[in-house]
Amino acid sequence: MSMGIAKSITAASVLCAALMLTACNSTSATRAEPVAAAVAPLPPTPGVVGSTIGQTLDEGDKQTAIAAQHEAVNSGARKTWKGAHGAYGFIAPGPEGGMGGCRDYTHKIFIDGRPQEAKGQACRAGDGSWRVSS
């Protein structure tokens, strides 16, 4: 093979390789970057209000009870609440327990004057906030 033909083949090979790299580059440049979808935060866990004890509460009173429960487990102090439709109650949180960062609580709800009681637990999340787990 002559030197001129070898140079031509080498030049053609380099040109092909350059074109292939350019083609790869251009397709990756037009590729859409993944977009993270916005995720709504989870609603607060209703704890014992979401169980049998809260089934007869109307939605407004249930939200009032959940807010009071959240406040009580966060503060560690007893919290009373009164709904707009006659239901009322209180939450009595226990002390924060050990290294696990959990506390038990009792939620007593009066519906039509009749008491109902349930017990639950809240634990500290990684960000320091309290999450009702039951």
Token pair of 36 as six digits: 């993270």
Q: How far apart are CA 75 and CA 60, in angstroms?
A: 23
Average pLDDT over residues 28-38: 49
Q: Which residues are registered as beta bridge partners of 92?
A: 106
> In the structure, what pLDDT confidence band is assigned to residue 100 with cuts at 50, 70 and 90?
low
With contact defined as beta carbons under 8 Å apart, do 62 and 49 qualify? yes
pLDDT of residue 54: 76
User: Cα 57 from chain centroid?
Assistant: 25
Q: How far apart are CA 17 and CA 12, in angstroms?
A: 9
Domain spans, the chain: 1-29, 47-132
Looking at residue 111, its amino acid is I
With contact defined as beta carbons under 8 Å apart, do 76 and 95 qualify? yes
Q: Per the confidence metrics, is the pTM higher than 0.75?
A: no
Which is higher by pLDDT, 31 or 55? Answer: 55
Q: Is 109 helix (H, G, I), strand (E, B) or coil?
A: strand
pLDDT in tens, 36-56: 444 444 445 567 777 777 778
